[in-house]
């Protein structure tokens, strides 16, 4: 029966089912990744945001939750301009973090 | 001169001959390899430059002035310059005069030509033909003395480099030390060996006097051969270790100079020009004192001299660490006496990294973006209110977007001067590509360059104004924008002031100007910002300025330096700037302004803000434009 609306599927992530191996690998080369407090300063300054929805805050969260594809598609238009490093109140070296993600993760998610 | 031996040969020449043949073969093979590694286009360019009279003359001049006289070192420190040129030029003259001597006094050389010019005095006896050694023998002794004085200075420098204006020098490797000690030994041994034969083959003020003074020892011909053996062995050891030591810079620089004069750039990180630069590094260590990271002792091993050493050793882990840490301020390139481009070498190393995925900007539609910024096309070029009908497109860039004060000040200045302008990235645009290029990802940077080029070419503007030197550098070097003048806001303001379109009141505030790396060393703009500041106030200079200005520490060049580790560099740069106790620090780069602003004890401003504060319109009919922006 179609009521014209649906109950949206749960967006809960079961972390027990997430393979965190890659994230641990990332954490070992970029210890600062845990420093992020998701304030969103990086997202609000990002010039790539309007093109691919890039948000460093979301990328870090997505990777922690195993949503690699989502993270990588956001990073598609990152220009490595460094604005996010300049505004980060936690002093995270976001540019190197982005480069490390590109080295550790793969586009096809394997 | 009369030959003393029928054969004209003695076993002691062997170490020297073997060493020399080895080093010559090594250098020739190395030279051919480097030339073959160049891209075909560059190789052709190189060969053409070798036969073009203009570059040919320049090559000869540069080789003489740089390799032999070391003019760059003379400019830096007289004692350092004398030390290097006395050894290099003195030795060269010894070899040259030695050859002339042999050509003058012997015939039928044959294989003897290999060693006669070096050991001539052993094989001949003096006759009347030498004018009692008045000219050539005198020259030989004179240049030997010159070299010996250089060696004495070199020994002093090893112990106390501060006398030579160097705070820190390179830590030599083991083979470097072997090369160093054998080089030091060559000339005193030559003096000793020639003193033995001075009463037979003649000599001049050095050798002959020594022979007279120590006549008991030196006239005893039984002692003669060991001295000549030792001299030959020192030469042989030096030549045998030369390819594996820093002394490889001597032959390599002779190749590097013509390569550079041919206008060749680094393409491959390890081959061709890059290889020539790495081997041309004399490990002098001038880059150690120059490096802004040097304020922290732990960074000393990450300077260009050590990068070159690690590249020669193929130590990949260290190469990556060193090249990723660098701020790319290019000061090492500016002070390098042989012209090793530390910054470009590092960018090339970064370009070797393998990434699993990379950004791709094909989804960005440049034509949609252009529509927002094509005011000049819509107005159909009929806007004739400006003085010279200049249509300025202002690209603020990412960093200026973070420092809106600069953008506002620049806009206000343009309004006062009545400039017709449009901002290209008011709502955010595409990055210029320089940060991506500095990370070594050339393909991605190229894509951004293409997108921006399309937007700019569609805008209908004739001038592209930039307030960020990082953008300015890549626009100057990698963008092809026919018909469009690319200009930095310091140049623009200088022109507006000098043409009278902008009137600036002078105040008695003391300003110091910080030369941003990308603007000064990167693009050679030093005068314009100083002209502008002198018009608005009193300009004082930093302790180290212009070509030797110290990086603010905020550079996007470094990939790995953390926020905390940059603090010491910024503080060091600030103390350099405030040497003449200025009231305000002025810079022309949004990134420098942001970085200094964090730790400086006095106001830090962009040059546009200063000009905006003290300027009035030079035009009487400026009312219309002033309204436009407000």
CA angle, B286 then B258 then B350, to 5°: 55
> Which residues of chain B lie closer than 8 angstroms to A53, CB-CB?
none
The predicted structure's pLDDT at residue B150: 95
**Contact flag A80-B564 (C-beta cutoff 8 Å):** no
| Strand order across the beta sheet in which B604-606 lies | B538-540, B510-514, B584-587, B604-606
**Contact flag B561-A102 (C-beta cutoff 8 Å):** no
Q: Which of B356, B402, B559 sits opposite A102 (nearest CB)?
A: B356
The predicted structure's pLDDT at residue B95: 93
B438: closest chain A residue by CA = A80
pLDDT-derived band at B146 (thresholds 50, 70, 90) equals very high
Q: What ipTM did this prediction achieve?
A: 0.89
Mean pLDDT of all residues in chain B?
89
Q: Does A109 have pLDDT greater than 70?
A: no
pLDDT-wise least confident of B114-118, B601-605, B608-612, B620-624: B620-624
Phi, psi of B506 (to 5 degrees): -95, 135
Q: In whole angstroms, how large is the CA radius of gyration of chain B?
A: 31
pLDDT in tens, B29-50: 999 999 999 999 999 999 999 9
The predicted structure's pLDDT at residue B384: 47
Residues of A with CB under 8 A from a CB of B: 32, 45, 47-52, 72, 75-83, 85-88, 91-93, 95-96, 99, 102-107
Phi, psi of B203 (to 5 degrees): -170, -165
Burial class (CB in 10 A: 0-12, 13-18, 19+), B595: buried
Q: In the beta sheet, which residues pair with residue B420?
A: B391
Q: Does B386 have pLDDT greater than 60?
A: no
The predicted structure's pLDDT at residue B379: 61
pLDDT-derived band at B622 (thresholds 50, 70, 90) equals very low
Whether the CB of B561 is below 8 Å from some CB of chain A: the reply is yes
Residue A104 to chain B, least CA–CA distance (Å): 7
DSSP-assigned letter for residue B146:
H
Which of A48, A71, A81 is the best residue to mutate to test the B interface, defined by the most B CB atoms within 10 Å of its own CB?
A81
| Contact assessment for residue B299 and residue B264, using Cβ atoms and an 8 Å cutoff | no
pLDDT in tens, B168-178: 888 899 999 99
The predicted structure's pLDDT at residue B388: 60
The predicted structure's pLDDT at residue B625: 45
* B544, two tokens: 């180290």
Domains assigned to chain A: 20-106 (1.10.1060.10)
Distance CA B81, CA B84 (A): 5
Nearest to B393 by CA among B417, B419, B432: B419
Mean pLDDT of all residues in chain A?
89
- Extract long-range pairs of B62-67: CB within 8 Å, 24+ residues apart: B62/B257, B62/B261, B63/B253, B63/B254, B63/B257, B66/B253, B66/B257, B66/B337, B66/B338, B67/B250, B67/B253, B67/B254, B67/B257
A87: closest chain B residue by CA = B402
- Any idea which residue has 């209110």 for tokens? B385
The predicted structure's pLDDT at residue B133: 62
Q: Does B502 have pLDDT greater than 80?
A: yes
Whether the CB of B352 is below 8 Å from some CB of chain A: the reply is no
> Which residues of chain B lie closer than 8 angstroms to A32, CB-CB?
562
B561: closest chain A residue by CA = A93
* A50, two tokens: 């309007």
> Which residues of chain A lie closer than 8 angstroms to B430, CB-CB?
47, 79
> Which residues of chain A lie closer than 8 angstroms to B359, CB-CB?
48, 75-80
Distance CA B174, CA B515 (A): 40
The predicted structure's pLDDT at residue B630: 37
| Strand order across the beta sheet in which B463-466 lies | B420-423, B391-395, B463-466, B485-488
* B279, two tokens: 């081997």
Size of interface A-B (CB pairs under 8 A): 100
Distance CA B361, CA B15 (A): 62
pLDDT-derived band at B160 (thresholds 50, 70, 90) equals confident
| Contact assessment for residue B228 and residue B189, using Cβ atoms and an 8 Å cutoff | no
DSSP-assigned letter for residue B426:
T
pLDDT-derived band at B627 (thresholds 50, 70, 90) equals very low
> Which residues of chain A lie closer than 8 angstroms to B429, CB-CB?
47
CA B516 to chain centre: 17
Residue A60 to chain B, least CA–CA distance (Å): 17
**Contact flag B431-A87 (C-beta cutoff 8 Å):** no
Distance CA B403, CA B545 (A): 24
- Its sign, for the CA torsion B489, B492, B497, B502, is negative
More confident residue, B623 or B99: B99
**Contact flag A77-B562 (C-beta cutoff 8 Å):** no
Whether the CB of B436 is below 8 Å from some CB of chain A: the reply is yes
> Which residues of chain A lie closer than 8 angstroms to B361, CB-CB?
51, 77
Average pLDDT estimate for B204-212: 87
- Its sign, for the CA torsion B285, B286, B287, B288, is positive
**Contact flag B355-A102 (C-beta cutoff 8 Å):** yes
The predicted structure's pLDDT at residue B211: 86
Residue A65 to chain B, least CA–CA distance (Å): 20
The predicted structure's pLDDT at residue A2: 81
pLDDT in tens, B234-247: 999 999 999 999 99
Q: Does B628 have pLDDT greater than 80?
A: no
Which of B351, B359, B365, B366 is the best residue to mutate to test the A interface, defined by the most A CB atoms within 10 Å of its own CB?
B359
**pTM, 2 dp:** 0.90
A93: closest chain B residue by CA = B562
More confident residue, B341 or A2: B341
Residue B591 to chain A, least CA–CA distance (Å): 9
B595: closest chain A residue by CA = A86
Q: Does B541 have pLDDT greater than 60?
A: yes
pLDDT in tens, A55-74: 999 999 999 988 899 999 99
E strand segments, B282-406: 391-395
pLDDT in tens, B392-428: 999 999 999 999 999 999 999 999 998 889 998 888 8
> Which residues of chain B lie closer than 8 angstroms to A76, CB-CB?
359-360, 363
Average pLDDT estimate for B552-570: 92
């Amino acid at each position: 029966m179609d009521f014209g609306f649906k109950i949206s599927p749960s967006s809960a992530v079961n972390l027990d089912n997430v393979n965190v191996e890659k994230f641990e690998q990332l954490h070992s080369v970029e210890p600062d990744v845990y420093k992020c407090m998701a304030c969103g300063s990086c997202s609000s300054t990002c010039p790539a945001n309007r093109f691919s929805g890039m948000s460093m805050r979301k990328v870090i969260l997505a990777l922690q939750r195993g949503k690699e594809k989502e993270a990588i598609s956001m990073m598609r238009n990152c220009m490595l301009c460094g604005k996010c490093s300049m505004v980060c109140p936690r002093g995270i070296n976001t540019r190197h973090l982005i480069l490390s993600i590109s080295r550790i993760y793969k586009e096809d998610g394997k | 001169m009369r030959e003393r031996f029928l054969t004209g040969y003695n076993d002691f020449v062997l170490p020297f001959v073997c060493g020399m043949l080895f080093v010559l073969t090594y250098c020739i093979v190395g030279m051919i390899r480097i030339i073959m590694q160049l891209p075909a286009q560059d190789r052709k360019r190189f060969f053409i430059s070798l036969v073009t009279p203009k570059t040919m003359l320049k090559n000869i001049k540069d080789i003489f002035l740089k390799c032999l006289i070391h003019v760059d070192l003379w400019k830096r420190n007289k004692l350092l310059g004398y030390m290097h040129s006395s050894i290099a030029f003195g030795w060269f003259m010894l070899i040259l005069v030695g050859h002339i001597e042999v050509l003058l006094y012997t015939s039928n050389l044959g294989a003897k030509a290999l060693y006669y010019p070096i050991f001539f005095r052993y094989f001949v006896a003096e006759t009347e033909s030498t004018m009692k050694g008045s000219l050539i023998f005198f020259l030989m002794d004179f240049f030997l003395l010159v070299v010996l004085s250089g060696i004495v200075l070199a020994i002093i420098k090893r112990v106390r480099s501060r006398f030579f204006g160097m705070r820190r020098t390179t830590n030599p490797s083991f083979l470097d030390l072997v090369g160093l000690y054998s080089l030091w030994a060559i000339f005193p041994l030559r003096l000793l060996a020639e003193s033995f034969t001075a009463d037979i083959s003649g000599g001049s003020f050095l050798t002959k006097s020594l022979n007279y003074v120590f006549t008991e020892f030196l006239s005893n011909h039984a002692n003669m051969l060991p001295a000549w053996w030792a001299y030959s062995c020192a030469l042989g050891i030096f030549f045998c270790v030369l390819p594996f030591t820093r002394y490889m810079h001597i032959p390599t620089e002779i190749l590097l100079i013509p390569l550079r004069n041919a206008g060749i750039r680094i393409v491959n990180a390890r081959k061709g020009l890059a290889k020539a630069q790495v081997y041309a590094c004399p490990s002098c260590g001038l880059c150690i004192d120059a490096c802004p990271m040097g304020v922290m002792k732990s960074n000393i091993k990450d300077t260009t001299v050590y990068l070159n050493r690690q590249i020669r050793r193929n130590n990949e882990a260290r190469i990556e660490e060193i090249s990723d840490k660098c701020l790319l301020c290019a000061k090492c390139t500016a002070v390098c006496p042989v012209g090793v481009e530390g910054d470009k070498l590092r960018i090339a190393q970064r370009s070797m990294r393998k990434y699993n995925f990379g950004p791709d900007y094909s989804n960005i539609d440049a034509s949609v973006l252009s529509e927002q910024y094509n005011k000049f096309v819509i107005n159909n070029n009929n806007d004739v209110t400006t003085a010279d009908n200049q249509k300025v497109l202002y690209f603020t860039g990412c960093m200026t977007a973070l420092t809106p004060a600069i953008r506002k000040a620049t806009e206000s200045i343009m309004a006062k001067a009545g400039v017709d302008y449009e901002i290209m990235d008011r709502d955010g645009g595409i990055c210029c590509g320089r940060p991506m290029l500095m990370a070594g990802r050339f393909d991605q940077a190229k894509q951004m360059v293409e997108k921006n080029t399309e937007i700019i070419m569609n805008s209908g503007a004739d001038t592209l104004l930039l307030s960020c030197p990082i953008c300015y550098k890549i626009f100057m070097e990698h963008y092809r924008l026919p018909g469009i003048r690319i200009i930095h806001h310091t140049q623009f303001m200088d022109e507006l002031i000098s043409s009278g379109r902008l009137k600036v009141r002078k105040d008695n505030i003391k300003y110091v100007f910080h030369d941003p790396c990308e603007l000064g060393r990167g693009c050679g703009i030093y005068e314009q910002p100083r002209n502008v500041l002198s018009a608005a106030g009193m300009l004082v200079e930093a302790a180290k300025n212009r070509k030797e200005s110290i990086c603010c520490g905020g550079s996007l060049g470094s990939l790995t330096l953390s926020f905390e580790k940059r603090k010491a560099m910024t503080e060091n740069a600030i103390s350099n700037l405030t040497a003449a106790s200025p009231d305000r620090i002025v810079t022309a780069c949004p990134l420098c302004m942001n970085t200094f602003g964090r730790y400086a004890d006095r106001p830090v401003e962009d040059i546009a803000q200063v000009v905006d504060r003290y300027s009035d319109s030079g035009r009487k009919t400026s009312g219309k434009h002033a309204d436009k922006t407000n």
